Structure 1
């Protein structure tokens, strides 16, 4: 490990990844999310933005205005626990400064279209020559190899090209998953790759490139669709709220909304029958086994009507209280109910983040370590707020050179 940043307190460099320095060149969601995950786990992430073209999500809603300055909750959520500097990588002086940082860092993360860093003269080979142990993570729509590698991509591109869009939705037509799963999954897979590459770099002194594609990431989330097709030739199509072969397992209406009902195993089915006082069905030999209940005729004639009847008599809260830990039944919650969920709050999945004098409540980090993580009470950086600390204190620029670079627009 290189020497930690001298201007950071020892507390700021604690955690499972304490001392790991990340140069975060990323924008929007996939890359910032990856760097955020690692920063929550203790890494020092330095967000690097062009002085005249910062991350556009600084202007994404929702907004709060405190002290007359609009602050983006979207940006705060994905850029907490980061330092921020400005740097023009197209300027020769900017390239030189970046390489000076690479020499002392452990990880570089970028989510440009493949070829962009090479055109800047800052591709992996160049960075590796300066620091052989550097871990270079590149997140892109289609990856850095293959005939589609240079194509532009968004989250919906990945959902379409990875097959998820064709599988999701109602039976009549496919539907995009209602969150940026292509971005988020790529960020998570990149974080895993970075951790693996860091471990090897610590052992061997040699870093490597982590190449993560949004399309690849979506394909890896398609459950059994790939092996079903390669084995049987069957193409997975939208199945609505049900499951292609597990029954009963899906969405059911109740008095005030919907619940997920998943009591499909023999043990859980018996528990459900007892919970709802349906002794006749509990002892019915025609639905006694899971294989029997999976048969479409029996399911439509006996199983599905019974579950609809059970759920339709109660509210979501009543059903949740009745079932407890006896079998899987979960209210389908709106985000308002999720935010109010005491279980999630106890697990620190709703945390405050400060940005531009505003405090936002955002999602926490799902990785819980007994040694602790850093997302609770974190802050997101203003544009270039750490320029002096990074350039003067860490890189050791003289005040005269620093002022000159600012005047030239390099910083």
Structure 2
């Protein structure tokens, strides 16, 4: 007898007028949980994220990651017939997600307030760049630009060289916030019987993450500066090169760990009492001396020697891996996916695991552009 795994979102219909990353990742979460997700795309080219690259056997990496398990419906919402079809879909939908350009959804007649008046149980989710009001509300807001505007790049990178975070963190974070907001709205609907609006922006997402640097700037007048692999207020904390050219990162969080590092790794317990290094404030104040001392020790020993010593002393460490190293990491979990042309690939397995789900999940198929258009038009026609 085949084991049945609980799918908590089974029975939900999610309609998503989406593009790029933030909204597709959010709706993909619901597809993974068993919801029926209808992705609305432009006729012909579809979601422009389909053309970002062809890295996964001809399929775009972003698209495969954010769109498996969905149905693809091509619509032109400027055409009366397609507008009517979208209305019929939304009349039966539980959730409507959209991340179109500012104002576009309202001009098309599908603004969230209007929709919830027509369909009181519908939950709407608007993902924007900067929100619906304010001087920036109509600005285009790609992930990199929001990283810049929010100050994220100012606290990343190396000294004198602020840097973009190497993955689309504002898009990804916005999708996570959308999921959190939608789950809260589903619980609220279970209590009240009514849908509600979920609104969030990439900028607000980044701003939330920038709370600590913001507080340091506003209340202490001391904005954190980019420090590469190091930490603005902890030392030693960072990457140090071993004699065989590998980089190991260590993170000393408290005085107990510092004493153990000196005594059990460096075999120099006296260093823990040296005025230059005797407490956290002294080590930060004398960061150059602290880091030089640690770096010299690492430089005289191989990665294997250092890992053995650090592990024995219970000092937190990690290798500064390349992406190729990461791809071979023993802790990396993968899940199979079928691409739109039928080829097989592997994505990273979903990070959240539930006891009611299989240990080895299989992801849904990545849809071709308009693959389900005919069937959906017939069903809702």
TM-score (norm 2): 0.90
Higher relative contact order (CA 8 A, sep 6+): 1
Matched, 1:323 2:310: yes
Deviations, residues 95-128 of structure 1 (Å, cap 9, x unaligned): 1111111111111111112211111111112211
1:191 aligns with 179
Secondary structure (helix, strand or coil) at the match of 1:81 reads coil
Quote how far apart the aligned CAs of 1:334 are. 1.1
1:268 to 237, 257, 261: 257
Structure 1 residues 379 and 283: alpha-carbon distance in aligned structure 2, compared to 1, 3 A threshold: same
Quote how far apart the aligned CAs of 1:64 are. 5.3
1:354 to 322, 327, 338: 338
Structure 1 residues 378 and 322: alpha-carbon distance in aligned structure 2, compared to 1, 3 A threshold: farther
2:100 aligns with 112
1:402 aligns with none
Quote how far apart the aligned CAs of 1:315 are. 4.0
Secondary structure (helix, strand or coil) at the match of 2:11 reads coil
Quote how far apart the aligned CAs of 1:288 are. 7.4
Matched, 1:201 2:185: no
Matched, 1:36 2:28: yes
2:8 aligns with 16
1:60 aligns with 52
Say whether the 8 Å CA contact 1:353–1:376 is kept in structure 2.
yes
Matched, 1:378 2:364: yes
Secondary structure (helix, strand or coil) at the match of 1:231 reads helix
Gaps of 5+ in 1: 1-9, 398-411
Say whether the 8 Å CA contact 1:46–1:84 is kept in structure 2.
yes
For residues 146 and 275 of structure 2, the distance between their equivalents in structure 1, rounded to whole angstroms, comes to: 44
After superposition, where does 1:184-263 map in structure 2 within 5 Å? 184-254=172-242, 255-263=244-252
For residues 111 and 318 of structure 1, the distance between their equivalents in structure 2, rounded to whole angstroms, comes to: 51
Quote how far apart the aligned CAs of 1:310 are. 3.2
2:378 aligns with 392
Quote how far apart the aligned CAs of 1:61 are. 1.8
Gaps of 5+ in 2: none
Deviates more, 1:156-165 or 1:364-373: 364-373
Deviations, residues 152-200 of structure 1 (Å, cap 9, x unaligned): 1211111111111222222213222122112111111111111111111
For residues 10 and 230 of structure 2, the distance between their equivalents in structure 1, rounded to whole angstroms, comes to: 44
Say whether the 8 Å CA contact 2:156–2:228 is kept in structure 1.
yes
Secondary structure (helix, strand or coil) at the match of 2:139 reads coil
Say whether the 8 Å CA contact 1:319–1:329 is kept in structure 2.
no
For residues 204 and 379 of structure 1, the distance between their equivalents in structure 2, rounded to whole angstroms, comes to: 35
Quote how far apart the aligned CAs of 1:287 are. 6.7
Deviations, residues 36-59 of structure 1 (Å, cap 9, x unaligned): 223223332211112234011222
1:311 to 298, 301, 316: 298
For residues 109 and 11 of structure 1, the distance between their equivalents in structure 2, rounded to whole angstroms, comes to: 29
2:135 to 147, 154, 159: 147
1:407 aligns with none
Structure 1 residues 279 and 318: alpha-carbon distance in aligned structure 2, compared to 1, 3 A threshold: closer
After superposition, where does 1:87-166 map in structure 2 within 5 Å? 87-166=75-154
TM-score (norm 1): 0.84
Quote how far apart the aligned CAs of 1:283 are. 5.6
1:344 aligns with 332
For residues 272 and 216 of structure 2, the distance between their equivalents in structure 1, rounded to whole angstroms, comes to: 35
The alignment yields a C-alpha RMSD, in angstroms, of: 2.5
Secondary structure (helix, strand or coil) at the match of 1:139 reads strand
Deviations, residues 13-72 of structure 1 (Å, cap 9, x unaligned): x4232222211111111111121223223332211112234011222223455xxxx433
- The count of residues paired between Structure 1 and Structure 2 equals 375
For residues 46 and 171 of structure 1, the distance between their equivalents in structure 2, rounded to whole angstroms, comes to: 46
